[in-house]
C-alpha cells in the first residue's frame, strides 16, 4: 500500500506540536532557539507560534538570568491552558492523575480494587472521579417552599462543592426533575447567562446558596426528586446529588 501524502493541515498540526513540545522542554525559549533545536525554519516556527499564542497555549516570557537577549522574544507554556486526565488500571489499584501543559502532575488519587473484575474496576474509576469532585445538597426547612407572585414555586438549597484538584475549575450546575425549572446562584456571578457556571477554587470546599424555581403548571401539588448535577467543563468530570423539590 502506498504511503499517504502529508497534507498542509497535517503538517501545520505537526509543526505546532513540535514547537509546543520544544517550549515545554526549554522555556523560556526564543524563536531562534526553537528553530535550532527542532530543525524547522524560523518562518515556519513563527507561524506555529502565532497559532499557539492565539489558542492561549503559550505566552511571551522574560528570559532567565541577566545575560543579553539581543532583543529576542521568549516564550513559555501556559500551564492552566489545558489538562490531561490519565487512568492506570492495575491488578490492585486504579490510579488517576491530572497533568497540565508543562507535564506537571496537579492531582493524583489511588483507589484500591476490592475484586479483580471489570465491574469492580469501573466502580473504582467512578469512585476516583467522585472523590476529586463532589457535591452535597441540603434543602431549606423553613420555609420548605415559597409561592412567588407570578404563581411559580421556589425551593432553596445549601450546596457544598468539593474540588480536590490542585487547580481552579469551571463548574456548570444543572438540575433535573421539576418541569421547566431554572437555577439561580445567590451572590455568585455566573460566567454564562444561560447556564450557571462558577469558578471552583483549587483544593477547597465552596458553599453556595442555590434557588430552584419552576412554574406551577406541571409542578403544583406534588413533591418530585431533583438531581443537582455538576460538570467540569474542561475535563468532563461529573457527579450529582439528589434531594426533593416540594410544591405547596
Question: What's the structural domain count of the chain?
Answer: 3
Residues 151, 237, single domain; the answer is yes
DSSP summary character for residue 79: G
The alpha carbon of residue 169 and the mean position of all alpha carbons in its chain are separated, in whole angstroms, by 5
Residues 68, 97, single domain; the answer is no
The domain that contains 200 carries what CATH number?
2.60.40.10
pTM of the complete model beyond 0.85 = no
| 4 is a domain residue | no
pLDDT by residue for the chain (248 residues), tens only, comes to: 455 555 578 888 999 999 999 998 998 999 999 999 999 999 999 999 999 999 888 999 988 766 666 778 999 998 877 777 788 888 888 888 777 777 777 667 777 888 888 888 888 777 776 667 888 899 998 888 999 999 999 999 999 998 887 788 889 999 999 989 999 998 876 656 678 898 888 888 899 999 999 998 888 778 899 999 999 988 888 888 999 999 87
Contact criterion met (CB below 8 Å) for 81 and 56:
yes
Residues across the chain = 248
For residue 219, what are the domain limits? 133-246
Residues 86, 125, single domain; the answer is yes
| 182 is a domain residue | yes
Contact criterion met (CB below 8 Å) for 206 and 216:
no
When computed from its CA atoms, the radius of gyration of the chain, rounded to whole angstroms, is: 25
- Phi first, then psi, for residue 158 (nearest 5°) are -100, 120
Q: Which of 45, 77, 109 is the last residue of a domain?
A: 77
| 3 is a domain residue | no
Helix or strand or coil: residue 131? helix
The domain that contains 104 carries what CATH number?
3.30.420.40
Amino acid at each position: 500500500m502506498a504511503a499517504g501524502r502529508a497534507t498542509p493541515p497535517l503538517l501545520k498540526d505537526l509543526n505546532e506540536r513540535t514547537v509546543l513540545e520544544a517550549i515545554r522542554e526549554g522555556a523560556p525559549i526564543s524563536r531562534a532557539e526553537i528553530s535550532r533545536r527542532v530543525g524547522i525554519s524560523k518562518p515556519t516556527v513563527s507561524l506555529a507560534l502565532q497559532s499557539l499564542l492565539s489558542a492561549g497555549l503559550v505566552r511571551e516570557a522574560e528570559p532567565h538570568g541577566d545575560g543579553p537577549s539581543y532583543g529576542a522574544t521568549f516564550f513559555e507554556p501556559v500551564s492552566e491552558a489545558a489538562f490531561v486526565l490519565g487512568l492506570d488500571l492495575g491488578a490492585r489499584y486504579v490510579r488517576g492523575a491530572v497533568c497540565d501543559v508543562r507535564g506537571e502532575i496537579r492531582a493524583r488519587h489511588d483507589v484500591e480494587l476490592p475484586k479483580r473484575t471489570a465491574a469492580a474496576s469501573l466502580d473504582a474509576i467512578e469512585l476516583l472521579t467522585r472523590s476529586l469532585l463532589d457535591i452535597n445538597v441540603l434543602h431549606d426547612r423553613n420555609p420548605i417552599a415559597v409561592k412567588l407572585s407570578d404563581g411559580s414555586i421556589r425551593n432553596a438549597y445549601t450546596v457544598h462543592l468539593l474540588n480536590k484538584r490542585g487547580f481552579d475549575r469551571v463548574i456548570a450546575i444543572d438540575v433535573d426533575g421539576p418541569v421547566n425549572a431554572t437555577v439561580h446562584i445567590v451572590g455568585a456571578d455566573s460566567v454564562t447567562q444561560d447556564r450557571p457556571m462558577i469558578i471552583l477554587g483549587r483544593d477547597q470546599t465552596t458553599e453556595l446558596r442555590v434557588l430552584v424555581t419552576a412554574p406551577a403548571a406541571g409542578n403544583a401539588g406534588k413533591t418530585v426528586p431533583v438531581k443537582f448535577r455538576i460538570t467540569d467543563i474542561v475535563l468532563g468530570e461529573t457527579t450529582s446529588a439528589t434531594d426533593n423539590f416540594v410544591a405547596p
